[in-house]
C-alpha cells in the first residue's frame, strides 16, 4: 500500500532526534537500558545521519521497519501494523540532559518528541509515561488547536515562549511504501 509522507508527518534533520527519546532508567524495567555517559560538558549524538544504529522500536526487539533515513534525516513512515504508534527510542538511557534537535514536518502532520519514557510491557504507548514536546502543523491542522496543543508546547503542560517562529511545512514530491 502506498502512502505519501504527508500522512505520516515527522522528519528530523541529521543532528536531530526522533519521536521518542528514552531517558531516565525505568523503575521496574525488566531489561534496564545501558546508561550513557558523556565527557563533562560534552554532547552525545543520538543519530549518525546514516542508520538507525542506537535505536529500537518502543517495547520491541528486532529491526525498525517503520522508519528510514532520507537525505541524512530520520523519517517516520507511520505506525507499524498493529502498533499504537511509530515510536522509536534510544538504546541507551539518559538522565540530567539537555536535548536539542532540528525537525521538518509535512503539511497536516502531527508528531512530537517524548522524553523520560519508561519501556515496560505494562505500558503499551510512550505517552503513558513521558511528556511530549509537540510538533504539529499549527497552520494546516484541519481542526482548531488549543494553545497547549501547538508546536513547541510541552504538551498540555507548558506553552512555548512568545518568540516562536514557524517555518513553512516540508513538502514531499514522491510516494513511499508504508508497512
Tell me what pLDDT residue 179 has: 30
| CATH code at 1-179 | 2.60.120.560
Closest CA relative to residue 57, chosen from 22, 14, 26, 30: 22
Based on its alpha-carbon atoms, the radius of gyration of the chain, rounded to whole angstroms, reads 16
Q: Which of 119, 124, 69 is nearest to 91 (CA)?
A: 119
Mapped onto helix, strand or coil, the DSSP state of residue 103 is strand
In the structure, what pLDDT confidence band is assigned to residue 3 with cuts at 50, 70 and 90?
Answer: very low
Place of cell 519514557: 117
- pLDDT for the residue numbered 46: 94
**Candidate from 73-82, 135-144, 156-165 with smallest mean pLDDT:** 73-82
Instruction: Give pLDDT tens digits for 11-24.
Output: 332 222 333 333 22
Q: What is the pLDDT of residue 116?
A: 93
- The predicted pLDDT at position 149 comes to 94
Which residue, chain included where needed, has cell 525488566?
Answer: 30
When pLDDT is cut at 50, 70 and 90, the band that residue 37 belongs to is low
Q: Is the pLDDT of residue 81 over 70?
A: no
DSSP codes of every residue in 129-152: TS-EEEEE-TTT-SSPPPGGGSTT
Average pLDDT taken over every residue of the chain: 74
Question: Cα(152)–Cα(88) distance, rounded to whole angstroms?
Answer: 20
| CB contact at 8 A, 42 and 135 | no
Nearest to 76 by CA among 129, 135, 26: 135
Q: How far apart are CA 154 and CA 83, in angstroms?
A: 24
* Segment 103-143, tens digit of pLDDT: 888 889 888 999 999 999 999 999 999 999 999 999 999 99
Would you state the pLDDT for residue 106? 86
Predicted pLDDT at 79: 66
How big is the chain, counted in residues? 179
Phi, psi of 165 (to 5 degrees): -130, 115
If we measure between CA atoms, which residue out of 8, 26, 82, 20 comes closest to residue 47?
A: 20
Amino acid at each position: 500500500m502506498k502512502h505519501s509522507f504527508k500522512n505520516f508527518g515527522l522528519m528530523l534533520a541529521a543532528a536531530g532526534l526522533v519521536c521518542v527519546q528514552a531517558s531516565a532508567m525505568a523503575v521496574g524495567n525488566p531489561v534496564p537500558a545501558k546508561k550513557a555517559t558523556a565527557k563533562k560538558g560534552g554532547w552525545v549524538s543520538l543519530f549518525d545521519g546514516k542508520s538507525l544504529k542506537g535505536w529500537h522500536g518502543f517495547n520491541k526487539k528486532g529491526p525498525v521497519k517503520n522508519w528510514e533515513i532520507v537525505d541524512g534525516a530520520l523519517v517516520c513512515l507511520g505506525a507499524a501494523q498493529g502498533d499504537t504508534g511509530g515510536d522509536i527510542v534510544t538504546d541507551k538511557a539518559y538522565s540530567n540532559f539537555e536535548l536539542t534537535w532540528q525537525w521538518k514536518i509535512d503539511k497536516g502532520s502531527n508528531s512530537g518528541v517524548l522524553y523520560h519514557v519508561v519501556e515496560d510491557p505494562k505500558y503499551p504507548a510512550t505517552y503513558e509515561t513521558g511528556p511530549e514536546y509537540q510538533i504539529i502543523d499549527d497552520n494546516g491542522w484541519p481542526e482548531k488547536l488549543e494553545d497547549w496543543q501547538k508546536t513547541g508546547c510541552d504538551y498540555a503542560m507548558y506553552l512555548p515562549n512568545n518568540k516562536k517562529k514557524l517555518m513553512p511545512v516540508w513538502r514531499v514530491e514522491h510516494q513511499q511504501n508504508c508497512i
